[in-house]
């Protein structure tokens, strides 16, 4: 049952909860995210995006994500994460994705605005909502490198207001000290900056790089307008840890099915834990 529109996102912002955006790379991770959504009864976003396409192939992963979500009884949006390619965005919209993210954060401000405005127009014409990013996160989307927030650039609240008004986006991904992947030291978000951004823009905020974020930092973000939280590294770690544990008994008989099943179950458990964590209402600040 595909989750269309921004009602769930705006409801999460109003309630100081958040919808998880779970990155999926293959059959097992897609199935795991959907299973977690069915168990929790909460809306989730299944993010089959640009980096995952490099592994699985765009057409194959798009079809897998959409078909699995449509067959589910859960409320699941299928989201294109971190795309820099308008042709890729068009292909995902045509395939049936319910939301897309255009990432022009690497560009100068005016070019980011122009690229984002074009992507938003494409999305809205098809009834799809659009996310964009202002500011830059340190780290790698697909590999934890021990990065620190110092490698990125923070989102400016006044510029965020200008960007949102100029582009018509439905959600804004921000850089407030968050980092892609796990870090050597605990991440400390600039919660005052986050609150200022919330007060400056009329759309829900998105926090990328939430894996391993301390509890008080996560709750602080939910209290300050974050209504979508992207999770990737925690799921990758759950998957690989399960594979590592399963291998000693699986290798003698080359039991790949048991290994894949263990990985899928571990990702389901991690996604369910995160979904329930984000569903806990936090008093707004």
Q: Which residue has the higher pLDDT, 172 or 180?
A: 172
Q: Which domain holds residue 232?
A: 7-278
Q: Is residue 53 part of a domain?
A: yes
- Among 144-153, 157-166, 182-191, name the one with the lowest average pLDDT: 144-153
Share of the chain above pLDDT 70, in %: 92
DSSP assignment string, 13-24: HHHT--EEEEE-
Q: Say whether 106 counts as a known binding-site residue.
A: no
Q: Return mean pLDDT, the chain.
A: 91
Percentage of residues of the chain with pLDDT beyond 90: 81
Q: Is residue 147 predicted with pLDDT exceeding 90?
A: no
pLDDT at 269: 98
Whether 40 is in a domain gets the answer yes
List the CATH number of the domain containing 49. Answer: 3.20.20.70
Residue 32 lies in a domain: yes
pLDDT of residue 184: 52
- Is 216 part of a structural domain of the chain? yes
* CB of 48 closer than 8 Å to CB of 34: no
- Asked if 35 contacts 74 with a C-beta cutoff of 8 angstroms, the reply is no
| Residue 2 domain flag | no
185 assigned to a ligand binding site: no
* Cα atoms found within 13 Å of the Cα of residue 102, Cβ hemisphere only: 28
Would the pLDDT of 143 be above 60? no
Among the listed residues 7, 67, 81, 158, the single catalytic one is 81
Q: How confident is the model at residue 177 (pLDDT cuts 50, 70, 90)?
A: confident
Q: What is the pLDDT of residue 280?
A: 87
- Judge whether 244 is annotated as a binding position: no
Q: Residue 50's Cα: distance from chain center in Å?
A: 12
Any domain includes 1: no
Check residue 139 and give its pLDDT.
43
Instruction: Give domain status of residue 20, yes or no.
Output: yes
In order of 77, 184, 219, 250, the CA distances from 222 in angstroms are 20, 24, 5, 41
Q: What is the pLDDT of residue 186?
A: 67
DSSP state string for 129-158: EEEEEESB-BS-SSS-----GGGSBPPPHH
Q: According to the annotation, is 103 in a ligand binding site?
A: yes
Q: Which residue has the tokens 């971190």?
A: 82
- Lowest-confidence range among 38-42, 76-80, 179-183, 269-273? 179-183
Write down the pLDDT at residue 185: 62
Q: Name the domain count of the chain.
A: 1
CA distance to 14, 160, 203, 228, 253, per residue, from 11 (Å): 5, 21, 12, 11, 49
Q: Which two tokens stand for residue 174?
A: 């921000």
More confident residue, 51 or 226: 226
Q: Any catalytic annotation for residue 81?
A: yes
The mean pLDDT of 86-100, rounded to a whole number, is 98
pLDDT band at 210 (very low <50, low <70, confident <90, very high): confident
- Judge whether residue 125 has pLDDT over 90: yes
The answer to whether residue 285 is domain-embedded is no
């Amino acid at each position: 049952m595909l989750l269309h529109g921004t009602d769930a996102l705006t409801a999460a912002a109003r309630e100081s909860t958040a919808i998880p955006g779970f990155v999926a790379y293959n059959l097992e991770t897609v199935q795991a995210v959907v299973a977690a959504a069915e168990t929790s009864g909460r809306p989730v976003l299944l993010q089959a995006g640009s980096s995952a396409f490099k592994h699985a192939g765009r057409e194959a992963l798009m079809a897998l994500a959409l078909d699995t979500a449509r067959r589910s009884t859960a409320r699941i949006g299928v989201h294109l994460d971190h795309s820099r390619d308008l042709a890729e965005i068009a292909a995902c919209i045509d395939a049936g994705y319910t939301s897309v993210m255009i990432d022009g954060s690497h560009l100068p401000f005016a070019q980011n605005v122009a690229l984002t405005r074009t992507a938003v127009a494409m999305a809205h014409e098809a009834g799809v909502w659009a996310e964009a990013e202002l500011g830059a996160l340190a780290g790698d989307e697909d590999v934890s490198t021990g990065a620190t927030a110092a490698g990125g650039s923070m989102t400016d609240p006044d510029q965020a207001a200008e960007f949102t008004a100029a582009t018509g986006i439905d959600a804004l991904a921000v850089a407030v000290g968050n980092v892609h992947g796990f870090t050597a030291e605990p991440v400390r978000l600039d919660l005052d900056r986050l609150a200022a951004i919330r007060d400056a823009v009329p759309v829900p905020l998105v926090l990328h790089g939430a894996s391993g974020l301390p509890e008080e930092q996560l709750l602080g973000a939910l209290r300050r307008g974050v209504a979508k939280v992207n999770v990737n590294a925690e799921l990758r770690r759950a998957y690989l840890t399960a594979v590592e544990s399963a291998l000693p008994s699986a290798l003698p008989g080359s039991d790949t099915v048991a290994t894949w099943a263990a990985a899928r179950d571990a990702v389901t458990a991690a996604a369910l834990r995160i979904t329930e964590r984000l569903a806990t209402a936090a008093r707004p600040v």
